[in-house]
Amino acid sequence: MARPIVVAFDVMGSDHGPAEVVRGAAQLSLEAPHIHALLVGDRAVIDEALAETRHSGERIAVHHAPDAVGMDEKPADALKRKPGASVLVAAGLVASGEADAVVSAGSTGAGVLACARTFELIPGVRRAALASVYPTRRLHGQKEDPFSLILDVGATVEATAEDLVAFAVMGSAYARIISKNTNPSVALLSNGTEAQKGPPRVVEAHQRLASLPKVRFVGNVEGVDIPKGTADVVVCDGFVGNVCLKMLEGVQETVVELATYAYKEKLRWRAGMAMLSSGIQRLKDVTDWEQYGGAPILGFDRIFIKAHGRSRAGAIANAGKVAAKSVAHDLGRAIRENLT
Amino acid sequence: MPLLDRIDPPPPRRIYRWDLDKTYLRTEFDTLRQLVRTALQKAHEKVSVPGAPALIRELGAHGDSRLCIISGSPRQMRSVLEEKLKLDGIAFDELVLKDNVSNLLRGRFRALRGQVGYKLPALLESRGRVPTDAEEVLFGDDAEADAFIYSLYADMVAGRVDERILLRVLDAAEVYADERARILAAWKTLPTADPVRRIFIHLDRLTPPAYFTRYGPRVVPIFNYFQASLVLMADGMLTAPQVLRVAGEMVQAGVHNLFTLSNSLQDLMRRGLPLEQVAESLVEAMQGPHQLANALRPVPDIVAAFSRRLASLGTNPPPPRATAVDYVALIDDARPRTHKSRRPPG
């Protein structure tokens, strides 16, 4: 029997409480025999939730961590005060080789800091990037994912040209492995498609990427191209990426609110909505972010998957699968090879 | 065994009672196709649950026990089942199978699926054939009503069940009148004793372990037979080398490794079973001069894996408290799994 891939779950971070992460890991233990879950957090809380949940006890272990980082805490201060914080302990277990990857639905800042304190940056990478997936009109890769990858969305607020090139390489490697996209297209986010558009760091990054043979660079894209899915991987700095992502989420929520309003307001509108309901549901199904589990913090020699804070059990299980897939395909090595 | 003992064997000190399907054998009969396939399987095609044959052999190694099997399989499968047990090196003392043809011909359709009316009289009658002081360990699964029936049996023999409660249970389980008469007759002839030490429930359906807390700490839900071996070692019924032999068979079966075994140990400890001493003894046995853990090599990795799982736990919870089982509250568990009133656990 081959050695299983062990994924450490930071149990204490989810908006829905520790039990939801435990249920996600339990679901994973039933669906993926080659993945083992190491639940890191308050042992009593984990045990109580696990005992009530259908799971395979042979594929789950618990590692007690006495502290947790709250969403309202400053990550740096919290990690300094709480060396036993679950996210830090989980990362430590990966660094020591007891686990192969971390999944956390907790504070993004704490996750990035835990990585920085515990893991090593891949040679050639100066700064880490947080990636995220966003639903698009065009399908991507062999799996026909209706998502494209955007990075960075918050780990590195000010990125240099060199950082943007590294992000492009990392995003390309991730899309190749996770979306089974053999030759993903990579674009820089700018205020125009021309090579000379954008701030100096973007113009310089464009020049460098254009001459980089291992990345299929397709030039610049504009904000409007993100939901269209013009490129498989969109690269930007953390400040721009975070603003874009939050705006896109806001637009999506507003559309849903408007639809709800329309449904309640007039009988004719309600009838129209009812007629469209199967189409809307289909759209919802294909763009369901929960199926994609989480997004990676890229640039470190170990795998860290950041799940959405609102992730339910299914999304947590999928995040575990994404983590295991990244480990199985040696994402770190793929990035390293493309950078040299 | 000495010649004298073979001619006139000593009375058994322990009785090990086993179910077969989903407890000893990996059986699927949730659909008609699976049922037919199971019925047509030859002995060598049947697959035992990893570790179960080794555990039975080790439990019988002292020569002072009896192996009694009560299975819901039809009597027509006797020769196949006997051959399978023989292939696994298992010598049994009793093999009770269900007379489903008779039930069918007599139109007793409830008896085809019902477990209480079949297993309870069989257990009580078998108990009548063993010495009063013989201890018992029972092995069942979570597919039907084993936890309920075994617990009820244990408490009936121990005199902890009121007849009115029993009759309510038999009503709820829709037990036929003749089966009811057998149960009452067998029960009333038994001397009061408290012989049942443990009831192991193999989690074939992966029912959440907490579901069984209502049956008290005597019932131990297990994911595999390494877990049963650990508990039996803590109870003084197995030694460390014997547990390692069970683990060895499970690893050789190809479905277990260091990770699954160390996780299994930790799982029991998290449920409050006091196994620290057992873990230490296992580590000592592995490091001993005879290197008993040949099948589990390399020894340092095993020791490290087990130690890590123990060290990562922090403070262990207290052992679960023994409480009286409320059979009336659990009455739905006595009904067949397909019965509409039976709540799906988990």
Average pLDDT over residues B179-183: 96
Q: Report yes or no: B114 and B175 within 8 Å, Cβ to Cβ.
A: yes
What domains are there in chain B, each with its CATH number?
3-218 (3.40.50.1000), 225-311 (no CATH)
What local confidence, expressed as pLDDT, does residue B339 receive? 67
Structure confidence by residue, pLDDT tens digits, B26-69: 988 777 777 777 778 888 999 999 999 999 999 999 889 999 99
Q: In chain B, positions 306-325, which contact chain A (CB-CB < 8 Å)?
A: 308-309, 312-314, 317
B148: left (phi over 0), alpha (psi -120 to 50) or beta: alpha
B175 pLDDT band, cuts 50/70/90, is very high
What is the nearest CA distance from B209 to chain A, expressed in angstroms? Answer: 5
Structure confidence by residue, pLDDT tens digits, A10-68: 999 888 999 999 999 999 999 999 999 999 999 999 999 999 999 999 999 999 999 99
B346 pLDDT band, cuts 50/70/90, is very low
What is the nearest CA distance from B256 to chain A, expressed in angstroms? Answer: 7
Q: Which CATH architecture has domain A5-125+299-339?
A: 3-Layer(aba) Sandwich (3.40)
Domains A5-125+299-339 and A131-247+284-288 share a fold: yes
How far apart (Å, rounded) are the C-alpha atoms in residues B126 and B136? 12
Cβ–Cβ below 8 Å for B259 and A44: no
Q: Is B208 on the interface with A (CB under 8 A)?
A: yes
Whether residue B286 has pLDDT greater than 50: yes
- The token duo for A92 is 């430590």
A71 pLDDT band, cuts 50/70/90, is confident
Average pLDDT over residues B311-340: 77
**Residue A241 amino acid letter:** G
How far apart (Å, rounded) are the C-alpha atoms in residues B21 and B29? 9
Average pLDDT over residues A149-172: 93
What is the nearest CA distance from B280 to chain A, expressed in angstroms? Answer: 19
- Give the nearest chain B residue to A99 (CA atoms): B259
Q: Is B192 on the interface with A (CB under 8 A)?
A: no
Cβ–Cβ below 8 Å for B209 and A66: no
| Average predicted confidence (pLDDT) for chain B | 88
Selected residue of A62, A93, A94, A98 to mutate for chain B interface (largest B Cβ count, 10 A): A62
Q: Is B101 on the interface with A (CB under 8 A)?
A: no
Q: Is B346 on the interface with A (CB under 8 A)?
A: yes
What local confidence, expressed as pLDDT, does residue B102 receive? 83
Whether residue A90 has pLDDT greater than 50: yes
Q: Is A43 on the interface with B (CB under 8 A)?
A: yes
* Facing B223 at nearest CB: one of A56, A63, A64: A56
B292 pLDDT band, cuts 50/70/90, is low
CATH fold of A131-247+284-288, please?
Answer: Isopropylmalate Dehydrogenase (3.40.718)
- Give the nearest chain B residue to A6 (CA atoms): B259
What local confidence, expressed as pLDDT, does residue B343 receive? 55
Cβ–Cβ below 8 Å for B203 and A57: yes
Q: Report yes or no: B53 and B248 within 8 Å, Cβ to Cβ.
A: no
Query: What ranges do the domains of chain A cover?
Result: 5-125+299-339, 131-247+284-288
What local confidence, expressed as pLDDT, does residue B4 receive? 55
**Cα angle value B271/B255/B33 (rounded, 5°):** 100
Structure confidence by residue, pLDDT tens digits, A255-302: 778 877 877 777 887 888 777 777 766 666 555 556 666 889 999 999
What is the nearest CA distance from A106 to chain B, expressed in angstroms? Answer: 21
Q: For residue A279, what are the CA distances in angstroms to A17, A247, A257, A283, A303?
A: 33, 24, 17, 6, 37
Structure confidence by residue, pLDDT tens digits, B86-117: 999 999 999 999 988 788 888 887 877 888 99
